[in-house]
A and B are shown apart, each in its own frame.
Chain A
């Protein structure tokens, strides 16, 4: 008989049977046990890699079932800008997709599917929000970038009155002014921002804290202030010639372009830097008439913090990436005429991770160019004049593991707190901060992460789907791209393409388990398994975190304590389930979810 009770495993108390049952709803269980979180981390690696823990297999399955609206909402529950992130996410999930493991092909195009759900949901799609009753508390959020939007959204949903201050004319921060329009259409961005503002968030655009309004006054006026001011202070190259006309910072360049300017960059542009800003600058220059654009990096492409897709798109547009170079000085009298580089070699880093670069002696060489753009990172602008708070280097200091600054009721989240990161990580930061502020107001935590278990049926996944090659993203041709800065490059999957790509997902949230009490050790499951995913084991290692570790296999019958499915190797083909004569294999949908503790 299947277990019909649902119970919440308590973090403090050991789980024993159903003694700590709190509620019964069908046969769904929730858990906060470390072993279950550990299971999620190892067996649903895409979800674990996502800073906001998006239920990726869940939303991909919805696309397969043609439930694009539900897929969008599954995203939006944790990631407030699915259409935006479906275009510009840094995709940490794809790097850990199990389809990309050795012998298994290439990762599922998770990000493109996210966009497909946003593109193909019904017009007039109903947005779902779990709104808490008004609390009477007020919060000012300074900065409307991804982190600020994340904080504002969650604070508003939790019932607090939010005022969102933005120094620029339009909200969105780096999304609006940093990312080029050919990657992120602004009407879509404004649509998803308006879904946040609709919760009752008051937007004060064109108002800069510390300039137009004092932080001290804000702290007096509101119950809490959240700083999400991002990183707006670009790093200098620190080389001679940097002050020459024609030398620009990547951030300033992108902000000027995104405010409508069309800077004259000349024919030859040398970009210095290896991040997303450097790539955006390079591709933008190609659209403003440059003929030869080089991205000059200290290490090699392998160590660039951008994904392969971004590198390909830049090269497709004829941007050249020059590796193992170091800028030495910029040449020119009245303006930039060239730049001198030296060659580097790589050495193992002394810290043990990555590589260090070592300049090669007497290797300087000169490259003529009309514009130099330095995109080598940026730091937070933290000077608010009237309120002094503790800094951690250039970043705003927050107390260990929290978002609380050294000033009472002043919080910090996002890049100004962590240093430059990704959009999805910033959203996670903003949301995390919102929950911390909420806990301060409420005197308790009102939401938490849980592992949810629900018995599931065998899916209709077919083994042949494992061999479907990744569906390429349709893209504008080169001439169309370069014709107008606003022409979006990626065209998005058609519904048919999205369906085809969705088939590739293994649905790692399905956990296949053998009930050893009913298993007759017939080996039928092992015989049909396409991989070594079903094992005879004598023990299971337990990790320091409490999570299950590797299965300890044995070939000695006297030592076998169970036949177990290693879900880290399982590709959810379901063959074992189909052949089991005693039906001792169960499928359990295992999801990491955010749950209201007071629901």
Chain B
């Protein structure tokens, strides 16, 4: 590789970091930059629920300190937001009006909290948490709150609920079986999860979707579900899965559907632009569907594979075999999620 190569990685999660490590291991001279709109170094996202309730402090979230990047000669650009990509010109436009040219680009921006469109009118009344910033903002509110309703549309919601119960909060749970992410729940599965949660201490677990949220004078929120159940709580947490973080790519010419469309070598439709991790969408022949993978392990695997292909290899991501995941005493088959 010529010395003036500039590998740019957008995203500072497991996929981006695994890719940076792999690139540096094989190419000692190239410039490597990681751009992240977050202000914090690489952290364990799945530990955020524990951080939220005070069970863990911020240091325990850190995967690696900033000095590691300095030692590896990887330029870390934190708090910088990519506004758009011009893949024909191999240029990134950052929000602070800077242009960054790249030789090869890896998009590893992960996912963010998904708000189902029908919940958009209630967005201001809902709490979300997918990033450290979200957790920092939410932490004092959680500590002040006594009662919390969790809109449970994903596995993260189950994790948060566990931590809230440990923190002696009154937890209500509204399970949305129609859009549980990344699994699809049958009525039987939903019923078993409901029963299991109530057994563990959840004050009430009902199936349903939000019909209305009204803010009362005392600051409490009155939530009505379509099943006509109503809860009066201090906070409503919305955990309806993740959606790929790809808004800045739209209109660039890079093909997207739910995520960035890539082939099994993690290449987008533009040469020298790759995507991996929770933001990449790959056709899975076993499932006969396009899938956005989730989970730390998959992200790292894809990050390493993408980096090798950036370096000229022809590694292929193979669909993982179906694994068995236990959710609230219920075993479900999943190709992607191994642990939560």
Contact = CB atoms under 8 A, between A and B. Distances in A.
Interface of A: 102-103, 300-302, 312, 315-318, 323-324, 343, 345-348, 355, 360, 362-365, 477-479
From B83, B117, B250, B269, name the one whose CB has the most chain A CB atoms within 10 angstroms.
Answer: B117
Contact of B83 (A102, A302, A364): A102
B118 A317 contact: yes
B219 interface: no
Q: For the complex of A and B, list the 6 residue pairs with the smallest distance between their C-beta atoms, beginning with the closest.
A: A315-B117, A316-B117, A300-B257, A323-B257, A365-B288, A363-B288
Contacts of A315: 116-118
A477 B121 contact: yes
A301 B250 CA distance: 11
Contacts of B290: 324, 343
Contacts of B211: 478-479
Contacts of B93: 102
Given A346-B261, A360-B283, A312 B118 contact: no
A262 to B, nearest CB: 23
B256 interface: yes
Contacts of B255: 300, 302, 346, 355
A62 B166 CA distance: 60
B288 A324 contact: no
A324 B283 CA distance: 11
16 contacts: A103-B83, A103-B97, A300-B256, A300-B261, A302-B251, A315-B116, A316-B120, A318-B118, A324-B257, A345-B261, A346-B255, A346-B269, A348-B269, A362-B285, A365-B288, A365-B289
Contacts of B285: 362-363
Given A324-B290, A364-B288, A477-B212, 6 more contacts: A102-B83, A102-B84, A316-B118, A343-B283, A345-B261, A362-B288
Interface residues of B, number: 24
B208 to A, nearest CB: 14
B257 A343 contact: no
Contacts of B269: 346-348
Given A302-B250, A343-B283, A343-B289, A312 B257 contact: no
A317 B121 CA distance: 12
Contacts of B258: 323
A301 B117 CA distance: 15
B292 to A, nearest CB: 13
Mostly, the B contact residues are mixed
A102 B97 CA distance: 10
A477 B210 CA distance: 12
Nearest to B261: A346
Nearest to A300: B257
B240 to A, nearest CB: 13
Contacts of A103: 83, 97
Contacts of B289: 343, 365
A362 B117 CA distance: 33
A316 B288 CA distance: 27
A316 B123 CA distance: 13
Contacts of B116: 315
A102 B121 CA distance: 27
A365 B283 CA distance: 14
Contacts of A324: 257, 290
Contacts of A355: 255
Interface in B50-89: 83-84
Given A102-B93, A317-B118, A343 B288 contact: yes
B168 to A, nearest CB: 36
Nearest to B83: A102
B261 to A, nearest CB: 7
Contacts of A316: 117-118, 120
Contacts of A102: 83-84, 93
A15 B149 CA distance: 73
A324 B281 CA distance: 12
Contact of B257 (A301, A318, A362): A301
Nearest to A345: B283
Interface string B249-280: 01100011110010000000100000000000
Contacts of A360: 283
A301 B243 CA distance: 15
Interface in B109-139: 116-118, 120-121
Contacts of B288: 343, 362-365
A152 B66 CA distance: 72
A469 B273 CA distance: 33
B169 to A, nearest CB: 30
B85 to A, nearest CB: 12
Contacts of B212: 477
Contact of B118 (A362, A365, A478): A478
Contacts of A301: 257
Contacts of B97: 103
Most chain A CB inside 10 Å of its own CB: which residue of B121, B250, B258, B288 = B288
A272 to B, nearest CB: 17
B35 to A, nearest CB: 18
Nearest to B254: A302
A309 B261 CA distance: 23
A324 to B, nearest CB: 6
